[in-house]
Amino acid sequence: MSSYTKPAPNFDLSSPSPAYTLASGDKMPIIAYGTFRSNPGEVGPAVIEALKAGYRHLDLAHVYGNEEEIGKALKQAFDEGIVTRDELFITGKLWNSDHGVDIVPQAAAHSLNNLQLDYFDLYLIHFPVCWKHTGLATPGWGASELGDTPLIDTWRAMEDLVEKGVCKNIGVSNYPMMVMHDLVTQAKIQPVCNQIEVHAYYQRESLVNYCLSRNICVTAHTPLGGGVLNSETWDTPIPLKDPIILEIAKKHGKSPAQVLLRSLLQRGIVILPKSVKPHRMAENKDILDFSLTETEMKKIATLDKYVSYKTNPNPLSSFMGGPDAFSEMGTDIFD
């Protein structure tokens, strides 16, 4: 087999608090707490529990619709001395309908106001697609129409946020390989992160290794392949139930989820598992006391199905009912 570029992990898994050193020099904790699919009334208490469990990296997004509740939880955590703002690494995201150059700073300010914060540690372009603006308080979803702001113009507005101190770092999410490279060749301030769907069934080695070779952190927003909810909703196979994962988990006395999360860390990928259950939060963090052998990693590598499970949510169906729906299911921006 011919050789290829496979960068070593940027972080030390033997450290008690391993962190990815971003291109800016800032430290990003490698295990984040995700807030997608958290229902109103449960996300606030869940964030408090996550902070008590030791999570210091929170992954948020305007389109999740829960920023205000999370903002109240953060204020409570600060007031009660659970954590200080300086101890946290907070990621936010710019939604598709807010790509306009004049809208970008307004959208960031709107989210920060919701969260009762002064700055983001990291702010990401959520998807590489611009939709027509639908209002800051009403991020577009449904009958979505393509906008006319080029991605690089949106990025220039993001760069202005760094220069003004609104965001310490900027990056992207759901960017495929060549769109990522196009940005890298044009950016004045380089993206420090690409948050993507990556898991045992969709390993994306070319994209992952490309990003790591440029010191662009790769974060897995769906590290378990969507979990049981995806299996029940779309009848898709999930790695949590794969016989190879179950075998490795039994050998180590760990859960299938812990094996899947650990395998991503050993590839140099930051993870953001999601759960509102305290025992799951603790389990998802308890993955630094064991390691997978080279043989086990090779077995997991054989599970790649080279298929996206579109789990974050792919904006495919959002185009339905509008003039830019180009298939029965909507429009797949990754076609």
Q: Which amino acids are annotated catalytic?
A: 64
Q: Please, which residues have CB within 8 angstroms of residue 281's CB and are 6 or more apart in sequence?
A: 33, 49, 50, 53, 55, 275
- Using CA of residue 11, residue 17, residue 19, residue 25, what is the dihedral sign? negative
Query: How many other C-beta atoms can be found within 10 angstroms of the C-beta atom of residue 173?
Result: 22
Task: Determine the straight-line distance between the first and last CA of the chain, rounded to whole angstroms.
Answer: 31
Measured distance CA(22)–CA(217) in Å, rounded: 7
- Using CA of residue 98, residue 321, residue 175, residue 266, what is the dihedral sign? positive
Instruction: Tokens for 49, please give them.
Output: 């529990």
Q: Strand 122-125 vs strand 89-94: parallel, antiparallel, or unpaired?
A: parallel
Instruction: Tokens for 95, please give them.
Output: 């939604």
CB-based contact 183:172 (threshold 8 Å): yes
Measured distance CA(120)–CA(89) in Å, rounded: 8
CB-based contact 128:151 (threshold 8 Å): yes
* 175 Cα distance to chain centroid: 11
Measured distance CA(32)–CA(17) in Å, rounded: 12
| Backbone phi, psi, residue 46, to 5° | -65, -40
Q: Strand 89-94 vs strand 57-59: parallel, antiparallel, or unpaired?
A: parallel
